[in-house]
Structure 1
Amino acid sequence: MLSTIREHADSWMIKAILWLIILAFVGTIFYSWGMGGASSSGGGVIATVQGEKIFQGEYERTFNNLVEFYRQQFKNQFSDEMIKKLDLKTQALDALIQKKLLLQEAAKQNLRISDAELISHIQNLQVFQSDKKFSEKAYRDYLQFQRVTPGEFEDNQRENLILNKLEKLFETSSKVSQSEILDAFKNEEEKAKLDYVRFNSDHFQVEKTFTEQEVNDFFQANKKQFEISPQIRVEYIKIEPKTYLAEIEPRDEDIEDYYQTKIVDFRVKKMYRASHILAHIKSSEIEGDASAEEKQKQAEEKAKTRATELLKKIRAGADFGEVAKKHSDDPGSGAQGGSLGEFPKGTMVSAFESALDKLKVGEISEPVLTPFGYHIIKLEDSKEERIKPLAEVREEVIQSLKQIKAQQRARRTAKRINQEAEKDGNLKSAAEKNQVQTTITGFFSRENHNLPEIGDQPQFFNTAFSLEENRVSQPIHTQEASFILKLAGKKEAYIPELAEVRKRVEETLVARVNEELTSSRFKELEQKLAKEKDLEKIIKGMDLNVRHTPFFSMEDSIPGIGNIKEIKEKTFAMNVGDTSSAKVKNRFYLFKRVGKEAAGEPDKEQSQKIIKRIKQEKNRQIFQEWVENLKGRAEILIDKTLL
C-alpha cells in the first residue's frame, strides 16, 4: 500500500484526498472532534499566522485526526511508515495555517453565517436524522458522546460554512473550448500499452573491498554527513487503556446509545453470489498488416462471437459450470465452474455490476463487455443492503465501549498525575501515588529514536524535544496509551571519530559507488535501446526482466509503474515501436510503446460531463492559486523545533 501511495501520488484520487483534507478536514463533523472535546490551546505556540497563534495542542489534535482519517481509509494497510512518507506532520500544520488564513480573509470580506443558516445546516446533517426529521435527542447524544459542548460544535460548523461560502466566491462562468473538450477526452480515452524494464539505483553492485585509506578519505571528505545529532533522554509514565478493560462493564443504555450513534457503521452492503464465463480479447492473435486499432476491433468481435456461441449452448441446455470449466479464459473461476463466490457491491467493475443488477436469481446475462473481455454472467443469489440489528452486533458494541471507557479512565489518571507533578516537578512521586511506574529512556535524537517500548509515536518525540528543565509535559494521548514526560538528560551534537561510525561510513561508501555504477550502466542501456529497439536483447544476462502493462490512458496510473507524469508524457508522444527512458527518484526505467487505442470523438453526454468537470477544475485552480498568493503575502512564523 505504501508503494501504491508513493507511486500514484500525483493521481486524481490521491490529489482529491489531499484536497479534501485541506479544505474539509478541519471543519468536518467526523474528524474535527476527537475524544476529549474541542481543539486544545495547550502547549507552546507552534506557528503564528498574521499574528494569530496556532498552539501545539491544536496542532497535535489535528495531526491525530489526520492520522485517524488515513487509518480509516486504509484500514489494516495503514502503517507508521506511511505517516512519514505522506509527511502527515506537514499536512496537519498546512491545514491549520490555511484555515487561519481563510477565516481571516472571510472576516475581511464580511462573510457571515446567520443563526438561521447555521440551524438549517445542522438540522439537515444526516447524522442527526431520525425518521427523516431532525432529532434533538440524537444531536445531544452525539455531542455528549464526543464530549463537545453545543457551543463548541456550532462554532466549528459556522466556520465550516464560512469557508464553503468563501470558496463559492470563486465559482466562475468560464467557457470551455472545443479543443479543451477534445484534449480532455483524448487524455481519458486514448490508450497506450508498454513493455518496460525497471531497476533500483543499487541494482548493479561493485565487487570490491575498500582499503583503510579509501574509507578514511571518504569519511574526512564527508564528516558533516556523519555528525551525531543532539540527544536527550526522558523520564516518563505510560498508561495503557487495556489495563482497565477487565474492570469495565457498559450499561444497557450506553450500549443502545452507542449503537444508535454509530448505526451507519453497521450497514451491510448488498451482496452477490455469481458465476461467469470470460472470453478474453486477444488482439495479439490477430494476424495480418492491419493497424493496432483494427486488430483490437477484430479481436473484440471475435471474443463477442465466441461468448455468443457459448451462451447459445447454455440456452440449449448445456450446464453453465461445465461450459465454464472447458471454455472460460478466467483460470481461477473457470476451474470452479465459473464461481466467483460471494462479494459485496462495489467489488466488480461497473459494467459487470450493472448487468448483475438487471438479473433475477438464476438468470444468465447476454455477453457483457468490460476491460477484461466479454462475460456471460449468472446470478446465483443476492442479499439486499441491510442494517445489522443490535442483537447481532451487541458484543462488538460492548468491546468498542470498553475500549472508549478504558481510554477515558487512562486519560483521567494521566490528568491527576500531571496536576500533582506540576506542583514540584516530581513525576516519580506523583506517579507512585496513583500506582503508576516511571521509566527512563536511553539517549535518543530527532533522527534516531528507536525505542521499542514507545514505538512510532510522533507526539511523544515532538513533546520530548520541547521539554524545559525540571518541568513535566502536558499529558500526551494516543490510541494506544497516555504519556507524561520529564527531561532526564542532554548531550550536544558532535562529529564522531571514524571508529564510532565505521560501519555506517562503509555502508554509505558502498552505496555511493553502487549508485554511480548503476547510473553508468543505465546510460549504456539507453544507448543500446535507442539503437536495437529490443528490450529482451539489451538486458540479457543482467538479472532483469521485461514487464508488460495493460492498456492505460493519460488520466490513469500506469499499472506496475505508477502515476509518473514524465513517463506518461513520453509514452503518448511516441509511436508504436518507439522507445524511451526515465529516471524517477531512485528508479530507472527503459520502455517501449507496443500498443495504441485511438480515442475517437465524444458524444453529447460525454461532452457535457467533461465541460462540468473542467469548470470545476478551473474554479478549484483559481481558488488554490488565490490561497497560495495569500500564503505568500502573509507573515507565517513556524517553530520547527515543535514539529
Structure 2
Amino acid sequence: MFDAVRKYQKVMLGIILLGIFPAFVFFGLEGYGRMGGSDEVAVVAGRRISQQAFDQAHRQQIERLQQMLGGQVDTRLFDTPAARRQTLEQLITQEAMLAEARRKYLSVPPSEVQKNILAIEGLTGADGKFDFERYRTLLAQQNMSPAMFEAQMAQDLALSQLAGAVQSTAIVPRAVVDRLFELQESRRTVRTRLIDPKSFEAGIEPSEDDIKRFYDENPATFQVPESVDIEYVMLERSALAAGLTPSEQDLRAYYEQNKDRYADPEQRRASHILVEVPASADESARAAAKARAEKLLAEAKAEPAKFAELAREHSDDPGSKDQGGDLGFFSRDMMVEPFSDAAFAMKEGEISDLVKSDFGFHVIQVTGAKGSGVRPFEEVRGEIEAQYREQAAARRYSELAESFSN
C-alpha cells in the first residue's frame, strides 16, 4: 500500500509539471560544466536564476548530505558535474512551480508561516515559550537569516497548495476502488500446529564417530570470527568549529562581505479588486471590462475606507474577495510583474490607477510596507560568529581530510 501511495505522489508531481512546463520557455542553460562564466545560469518564465543563487543551493545540498552521513565524508565527492546538474534541475523545477503558484494567486499569509514555525519541535524554552535566540542560532548554522527562512517557508507552503489543488482533483477508477475494498475486507481462517524439535531428542545418543563426522562436515558452524585491535583518530567538524575563536576584525569583515544575507527583504501588503478578462475575450468584452474597472477605481478613490466592501462585492478574485481583497504581505517576486511594479512603487494608503495583467484589470490599495533595511552588526553578531565558525571549520576539515588520506 505504501508503494502505491509513493507512486501516486510521483504521478501527481508529474501531472503538475506537465501542466506547468509547456507555459514556459527555458533559455540561458549554459551547460553545467561552464557554470560561473555568466551572472545567470537559467531563465524560467522570465525570472533569472543567478549564479549566486545556484552556488548557495548547491552548497546547502552538500551540507545536507554531510549531515545525513555524519560529516565523515569528503565534500569533493559531491561536487561533481552530475551533482551540479541535479541542483540546477531542482532549481528550475521549483521556479516553474512557483511561477504557476503566482499565476494562480496562491499566496500564504504571514500568520500561516508563523503557525508552521511555532509547530517546529525544539524551538521552545523550558517555560514553553518560543525561543527566538535559539531559532536565529539554528538558522545561522544553516547560513540563513529568519527573513530568508520565512520567505522560503512561504514558498514551500505555496507549492504545497499547488500540489494539493492537483491531488484533490485526481479521479480513481471504480475498479481500483472495488479491488482495494475487497482486499481490505477479506478474511482468512488459519490453523497452526507447533512441533517442538526437542521432543525428538530423547533416545538419540550420537557416538564419538558421529560427533567427529558432523564436526568435519560443518566447519563453518564452528568458525570463530576474525577480530583485530585497532587505533584510530576521529576527525569531527563540530570539534574543529568549537576550537575556533574568530577576532572582532574577522567578524566585521565577514559582515561587510555578506551584507545581503542580513537584509530584510522589502515587502508590501495590499488589497485588490480584480476585473477578470478571459484570454479569449474579444475587443468589445475587453472594453466593457475596462469600463467596469474604471468605475470601481473611481468609487475606491472617492471613498478609500470602503475599498474592502467594494472588493467583497465586485472582485473576480475568489481567493481574496471574501477577505476584502486582502493579499497579506508579499515580496516582489510573489506576484506577476505589472502587479508588483505598481504595488512597490506606492506608499501605504495609496490607491493605484488601473493595472493591466494577464488576468485582467486590477485596482490596488497598499495597506502596509516593511523590510528593505540591513540589520546592524550588533544585532546579527551571534549569527555571524556561528556562520564564520561553520565555514572556517568546513575549510579546515577539508584540508585535514586530504592530509589524512595521504
TM-score by length of 1: 0.31
The structure that is helix-richer by fraction is 2
Asked which structure has the greater RCO (Cα within 8 Å, sep 6+), the reply is: 1
TM-score by length of 2: 0.46
